[in-house]
Homo-oligomer: A and B are copies of this chain.
Amino acid sequence: MNKFMRAAIAEAEAGVKKGHGGPFGAVIVRKGKIIARGHNEVVLHNDPTNHAEIVAIRKAAAKLKRFDLSDCVIYTTCEPCPMCLGAIHWAKMRKMYIGATRKDAAKIGFDDQFIYDVILGKAKKKQVKIFKTDRTGCLKVFKLFYEKKDRVMY
């Protein structure tokens, strides 16, 4: 077994035994060493965003004191949901190792596929109704940012 995936699995297992949330773990590796570990803590912290990958990314970024993790690799025990896949992209990572698939996750009741289907336009029923309002006011803040000389992009 891949040693980094073994560490991610150990995280997932510890999380399940402690009742912290779903059976998912992740580690982030830089220069051949694990710099952050995370497991799902949705239940522990009452935080719907506390998926293993998000937890690990936040820890790694805090450790490196930068939001750019392009020199890091993530190992996750399950194919990421759209939230985590988005986070991995925002963290600018280039490589990801996955264990189980989103279909495997759906079989034990974690329906990431539903959210993918919303994005893909395939969802039979949409959970979230979307309304539009006040675009002009929002664009004013975009302009304020865009004209700022010291703006930092990420």
A-B contact pairs, 9 of them (CB 8 A): A12-B141, A13-B144, A23-B141, A48-B154, A95-B129, A95-B131, A99-B137, A104-B135, A108-B146
Determine if B47 and A61 form an interchain contact, defined as CB atoms under 8 angstroms apart: yes
Q: A12-B141, A69-B48, A134-B2 are in contact. Are A86 and B82 (CB under 8 A)?
A: yes
A residues apposed to B, CB below 8 Å? 1-2, 5-6, 9, 12-13, 16-17, 19, 21-23, 25, 42-43, 45-49, 51, 54, 57-58, 61-62, 64-69, 75, 77-78, 81-101, 104-105, 107-109, 114-116, 118-120, 127-135, 137-142, 144-146, 148, 150-154
* Cβ–Cβ < 8 Å partners of A101 in chain B: 135
Cα A149 to Cα B137 in complex, Å, equals 50
A137 nearest CB neighbor, chain B only:
B9
* Cβ–Cβ < 8 Å partners of A91 in chain B: 48-49
Cα A83 to Cα B53 in complex, Å, equals 12
The answer, among B2, B86, B137, for a CB contact under 8 Å with A86, is B86
Determine if A127 and B89 form an interchain contact, defined as CB atoms under 8 angstroms apart: yes
